[in-house]
Amino acid sequence: MRHCFNCGREINEFAKVCPYCGTANAPQQPFSAGDPNVSPVPTRAAAPERPAAPTYVNVTTTAAPITRESLPPQYRPLSAWTYFWLSLLYSIPVVGFVFLIVFSFSSANINRRSFTRSFWIPIIIMLIVAIIFLILLAAGVGIGSIDSLEDLF
């Protein structure tokens, strides 16, 4: 076994890339011929090396698992019960509307803010339909203006 040049952890002696930090590790170089502690051994000329295929390091195996407690409070996921209670809270006529406004602009939790903003979508759609209906009603195209089916053709 040998050690990584970058992080110092023990790695396989044939590994070209450190599995912990992803640093390319060249094979260990033989001692120079002038070293008195090494007996001279005849070596063959090495063939030129081909570029190695790219090696990808799986970061998830070396990193600590992401838990709810390890996330900042702003990014923590909401539980199913939280979604349920928020839905009940938003269905209360006046109080729910106030909480809709407050939580839509709150940055305490991104998931709660997004969930609250999703409650505005049907409200906006209903307002648009009501405005269109009022415009048509003001223009005299209401249902009461049609006396019989003959007026349609």
**Residues 35-94 pLDDT 10s:** 555 555 545 555 556 666 666 656 555 567 888 888 888 999 999 999 999 999 999 999
Specify the pLDDT at position 55. 65
Sequence-distant (6+) residues with CB within 8 A of 47 are none
Whether the CB-CB separation of 93 and 83 falls below 8 Å is answered with no
The CA distance from 10 to 19, in Å, is: 10
**Does 6 score more than 70 pLDDT?**
yes
**Residues 24-51 pLDDT 10s:** 876 555 545 555 555 555 455 555 566 6
User: Which pairs from 119-123 meet CB under 8 Å and 24+ separation?
Assistant: 119/90
Specify the pLDDT at position 3. 79
The CA distance from 124 to 118, in Å, is: 10
Specify the pLDDT at position 86. 94
Specify the pLDDT at position 29. 55
Beta partners for 2?
11
The per-type count for the chain, helices as H runs and strands as E runs, is 5, 2
Strands 10-11 and 2-3, how do they pair? antiparallel
Tokens of 63: 């990193």
Specify the pLDDT at position 2. 78
Beta partners for 24?
17
